[in-house]
């Protein structure tokens, strides 16, 4: 494996999930693997779980970790080919990516979308720029359109808690006051397509995800109908894709409640806004898996770093 940019870079989802669950029992088993190896975590946006879990995963493997907040601690990067850099950008991605590659063995990148220009966001200039010019493997710590480390953690969580070989999993949109990216929903959907499951996406009309990603997935606009007999309900807000980056409405009828959830397990990637996205009773109840999902972030990152280290 050269880069880990999307769910498609998971060579075998069941194998990786199994291996992660084994690793979780003995996180330090491969602490010699990362000896003298360094991962550089570059943040173009804020982070809590991703930053700490990826750092912990690397340390579990015996790696050194360098962290940089690119925006506030370094220079503003240019991504366009051939540009005359006489304005706000100080360094081209061509140089930055090659240079950073020389100080570490793996580069991990977090870069959110602006949610203003769909074409620009889908071009993934930061992640793609590093993937193109870096001379070491690049890991996606959430880009404009994907969050594969989260999806892999979710797959581990599903495997640990599934009551049956072919569970029913529902991805349900929820209201939120701010315009949020599609990355988590995209990667979760892509990951579910690799699972043996009954998978349904439910959201109000107008909140359809990128049809290339949901292609082949069942979409149900009636939340109640979608949730019927679900084993897992993954709740997440995203802004409109068609009317790109817009909050069309914040319909609180879509807030997840204990009553709607029934016996299903509740999942969310966090951070979550209580009593907007989901009511307290769900998060504080026994069927919430959100803390488990967060724990599994360490092991999804650790599996990815391990695979990369083994291939170096």
What are the binding residues for N(2)-succinyl-L-ornithine?
142, 176, 236, 273
Query: Considering only CA atoms, which of 156, 104, 151, 123 is closest in space to residue 4?
Result: 151
Using the minimum distance from each CB to its own copies, give the nearer residue, 12 or 90.
Answer: 90
Tell the smallest beta-carbon distance from residue 53 to its own copies (Å). Answer: 6
From candidates 2, 248, 251, 291, binder to its own copies by CB under 8 A: 291
Residue 199 has φ and ψ, to the nearest 5°, of -115, 125
Residue 99's nearest CA partner among 57, 75, 55, 135 is 135
Within a 10 A sphere around the Cβ of 274, how many other Cβ atoms? Answer: 12
Q: Minimum distance between the CB of residue 85 and its own copies, rounded to whole angstroms? A: 4
Residues within window 170-199 making contact with its own copies, judged by CB under 8 A: 177
- State how far the Cα of 271 lies from the Cα of 152, in Å rounded to an integer: 17
Size of the residue set binding its own copies (CB under 8 A):
61
Pairing outcome for strands 232-236 and 168-173: parallel
Considering only residues 241 to 280 of the shown chain, the ones binding its own copies according to CB under 8 A are 250, 270-276, 280
Give the angle subtended at the CA of 111 by the CAs of 105 and 116, to the nearest 5°. 155
**Which is it for strands 218-220 and 138-140: parallel, antiparallel or unpaired?**
unpaired
* Binding status of residue 49 toward its own copies by CB under 8 A: yes
Residue ranges binding its own copies (CB under 8 A): 28, 31, 36, 38, 40, 43, 46-49, 51-53, 55-56, 59, 64, 66, 68-69, 72-75, 78, 82-87, 89-92, 94-96, 98-100, 102-104, 177, 250, 270-276, 280, 283-284, 290-291, 294-295, 298
């Amino acid at each position: 494996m050269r880069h880990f940019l999307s769910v498609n870079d998971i060579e075998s989802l069941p194998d990786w999930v199994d291996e992660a669950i084994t690793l979780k029992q003995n996180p330090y088993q491969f602490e010699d693997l990362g000896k003298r190896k360094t991962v550089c975590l570059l943040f173009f946006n804020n982070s809590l779980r991703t930053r700490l879990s990826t750092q912990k995963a690397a340390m579990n493997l015996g790696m050194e970790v360098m962290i940089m907040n690119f925006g506030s601690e370094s220079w503003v990067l240019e991504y366009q080919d051939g540009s005359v850099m006489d304005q706000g950008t100080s360094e081209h991605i061509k140089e930055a990516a090659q240079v950073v590659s020389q100080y570490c063995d793996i580069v991990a990148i977090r870069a959110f979308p602006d949610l203003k220009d769909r074409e620009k966001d889908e071009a993934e200039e930061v992640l793609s720029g590093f993937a193109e010019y870096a001379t070491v493997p690049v890991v996606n710590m959430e880009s404009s359109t994907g969050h594969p480390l989260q999806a892999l953690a979710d797959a581990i969580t599903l495997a640990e808690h599934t009551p049956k070989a072919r569970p029913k999993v529902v991805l349900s949109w929820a209201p939120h006051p701010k315009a949020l990216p599609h990355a988590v929903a995209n990667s979760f959907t892509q990951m579910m397509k690799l699972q043996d499951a009954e998978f349904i996406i439910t959201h109000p009309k107008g909140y359809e995800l990128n049809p290339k990603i949901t292609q082949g997935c069942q979409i149900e606009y009636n939340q109640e109908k979608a949730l019927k007999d679900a084993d897992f309900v993954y709740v997440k807000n995203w802004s409109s894709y068609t009317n790109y980056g817009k909050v069309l409405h914040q319909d609180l009828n879509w807030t997840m409640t204990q009553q709607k959830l029934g016996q299903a397990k509740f999942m969310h990637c966090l951070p979550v806004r209580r009593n907007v996205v989901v009511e307290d009773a769900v998060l504080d109840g026994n069927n919430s898996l959100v803390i488990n999902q967060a724990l599994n972030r360490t092991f999804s990152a650790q599996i990815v770093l391990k695979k990369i280290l083994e291939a170096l």
